Amino acid sequence: MIKKKISKILVPLDGSKNSIRGLETAITLARNCGATITGIYSIYAPPHSEFRGVGSVEKSLNVQIKKFMEEAKVLAAKNGIVFNEKISRGEIGYNIIKLAHGKGNFDMIVIGSRGRSSAKEMFFGSVSNYVIHTSKIPVVVVK
How many other CB atoms are found less than 10 A from the CB of residue 80? Answer: 10
Query: At 9, which helix (H) or strand (E)?
Result: strand 8-13
Number of residues in the chain: 143
Q: What is the pTM of this model?
A: 0.87
Residue 56 structural domain:
10-142
Question: Is 3 a member of any domain?
Answer: no
Number of domains in the chain: 1
pLDDT of residue 112: 92
pLDDT of residue 121: 54
Question: Is 98 a member of any domain?
Answer: yes
pLDDT of residue 113: 87
CB-neighbour burial class of residue 79 (10 A; exposed 0-12, middle 13-18, buried 19+): middle
Question: Is 29 a member of any domain?
Answer: yes
> Residue 58 belongs to a domain with what CATH number?
3.40.50.620
pLDDT in tens, the chain (143 residues): 667 789 999 999 999 999 999 999 999 999 999 999 999 999 887 765 555 555 566 788 889 999 999 999 999 999 999 999 999 998 999 999 999 999 889 999 999 987 544 555 554 568 999 999 999 999 999 98
pLDDT of residue 59: 81
